[in-house]
Amino acid sequence: QEAAKYEKKVMVLDFVTPTPLGNSWGLGGTCVNVGCIPKKLMHQAALLGQALQDSRKFGWEFAEEVKHNWMTMTESVQNYIGSLNWGYRVALREKKVTYENAYGEFVGPHTVKATNKRGVEKLYTAERFLIATGERPRYLGIPGDKEYCISSDDLFSLPYCPGKTLVVGASYVALECAGFLAGLGLDVTVMVRSILLRGFDQDMANKIGEYMEEHGINFIREFVPIKVEQIEEGTPGRLKVTAKSTKGNQIIEGEYNTVLLAIGRDACTRNIGLDKVGVMINEKTGKIPVNDEEQTNVPYIYAVGDILQDKLELTPVAIQAGRLLVRRLYGDATSKCDYVNVPTTVFTPLEYGACGYSEEAAVEKFGEENIEVYHSYFWPLEWTVPSRDNNKCYAKIICNIQDNERVIGFHVLGPNAGEVTQGFAAAIKCGMTKEQLSSTIGIHPVCAEV
């Protein structure tokens, strides 16, 4: 859309290869269809369930037991996503961007072949190309994985309640899904190979895990599934999962209605003909290395988003990188995308917002003696009356002593962590120091005042 503003002739090729179970979706990419949007809505559904329980302590009286209907929630979520898909179609049309629902792949210099779902092929040439193909969930490579397991690509439009679920993985996708499924009243177990939330501050990751465990989610640690078999067909059916310990020869078995794989995502760069135009990719990870102007080793081909090597896999980052790239190419802008101090939030039952360095990364970069960590537990006022946990919410900032105690890391665990973190991210970008933070008067009574 940005390029069209500069009167360039633009075409978008978007195609979703169906999941092993045949699932597909409309225009908008992962975030809109099978990522952030449905995830946050379902997380909200779970939070509302908790709120209903809390409400009795605040005086609301209702006699009936409160139950959750998976189909009602899923239909509403999918309807909203449908309106977004449609909105994008209208927006592209209005801005005169040509859209084709076809699979694009390079066949030669400056040339792509687009194949639609009926197999009809067309060739297109262009001056420049932007690759933003993103990633798809990884499968385990064990017997029964593609036939019986689902991934996040299938979960948000599942036409039946998943029932007793085993979530395999300890990524934020795994924990967020496990979190809201449990919040909706389902029996959830998480099978973890080693640590939780690799790449995130481990102190915070462990607190998240502890909270989830104390709130009814089972964790099986240091095991990996080796086989998935179907005991009974159905919606949902019954599956038997056999798993082996990572530390010895112990084998365990379990029965679940649904097995959700969330062990990682792989870049969609292997089958788009990059070799035909000489674009270098990291053979091991499939990611594309680019310079700080998002350009690949082939000057007329650019890339943004999750497929980039060593960059954050976040929707707003991809959007910002894309917009700035176009402004540099066709406008007079020179600003590059700032990949440092990008705030993120993990929407686990106890939300976690972060910006900047984790404690481990700060220690590694600056040395333990040069950083100072300030932290505090807090008890949200809203949790007092319903007697919810008083020692779980937590915030910490990491400061660089050598640089005026500049705040280089911000971490908060508590309700609305995302909202809280956004403001602090702007402050960190401005180079806020601990003193400036301390001298900012807090809003009372809110969690963020801590």
Partner 1 sequence: MGWEEKQVRGFPEFVQTAQRYHGRPIFALFCGDKDAEGRSWCPDCVTAEPVVRKELHNMPEESVFIYCLVGDRAYWKDPNNEFRKNLKLTGVPTLLKYGTPQKLVEEECFKADLVRMLFTED
Residues near partner 1 (CB under 8 A), total: 10
Smallest distance, partner 1 to C-beta of residue 90, A? 6
For residues 348 and 210, is the Cβ–Cβ distance under 8 A? no
Smallest distance, partner 1 to C-beta of residue 389, A? 39
Smallest distance, partner 1 to C-beta of residue 83, A? 4
To the question of whether residue 178 is assigned a binding role by annotation, the answer is no
Nearest residue (CB) to partner 1, 84 versus 314: 84
Residue 337 and residue 342: Cα distance in Å, rounded? Answer: 11
Determine whether 79 is exposed, middle or buried from the number of CB atoms within 10 Å of its CB (0-12, 13-18, 19+).
exposed
Measured in degrees and rounded to the nearest 5, phi and psi for residue 82 equal -60, -40
Angle between the N-to-C axes of helices 202-214 and 359-366, in degrees from 0 to 180, rounded to the nearest 10 = 170
Nearest residue (CB) to partner 1, 101 versus 416: 101
User: What are the structure tokens assigned to 163, written together?
Assistant: 């029932």
CA dihedral 348, 30, 4, 117 (to 10 degrees): -170
Nearest residue (CB) to partner 1, 99 versus 339: 99
To the question of whether residue 171 is assigned a binding role by annotation, the answer is yes
To the question of whether residue 205 is assigned a binding role by annotation, the answer is no
Which residues are within 8 A (CB) of 377 and not within 5 positions of it... i.e. 6 or more apart?
Answer: 391, 392, 393, 394
To the question of whether residue 420 is assigned a binding role by annotation, the answer is no
Nearest residue (CB) to partner 1, 118 versus 284: 118
Which residues are within 8 A (CB) of 128 and not within 5 positions of it... i.e. 6 or more apart?
Answer: 300, 301, 302, 329
Among all residues, which ones are annotated catalytic? 444
Interacting positions 359-398 with partner 1 (CB under 8 A): none
Measured in degrees and rounded to the nearest 5, phi and psi for residue 281 equal -130, 160
To the question of whether residue 417 is assigned a binding role by annotation, the answer is no
Smallest distance, partner 1 to C-beta of residue 5, A? 18
What's the length of the chain? Answer: 450
Measured in degrees and rounded to the nearest 5, phi and psi for residue 445 equal -95, 105
Alpha helices in 135-256 (DSSP H): 145-148, 152-155, 172-183, 202-214
- Judge if the upstream peptide bond of residue 415 is cis by omega within 30 degrees of 0: no
Binding mask 23-62 for partner 1 (x = CB under 8 A): ----------------------------------------
Determine whether 162 is exposed, middle or buried from the number of CB atoms within 10 Å of its CB (0-12, 13-18, 19+).
buried
Smallest distance, partner 1 to C-beta of residue 381, A? 36
Nearest residue (CB) to partner 1, 89 versus 164: 89
To the question of whether residue 107 is assigned a binding role by annotation, the answer is no
To the question of whether residue 104 is assigned a binding role by annotation, the answer is yes
Interacting positions 92-151 with partner 1 (CB under 8 A): 93-94, 101
Binding mask 76-95 for partner 1 (x = CB under 8 A): ---xx-xx--x--xx--xx-
- Of 74-82, 164-172, 364-372, 385-393: span binding partner 1 (CB under 8 A): 74-82
Contact residues for partner 1 (CB under 8 A)?
79-80, 82-83, 86, 89-90, 93-94, 101
Binding residues for NAD(+): 169-176, 264
Binding residues for FAD: 40, 104, 306
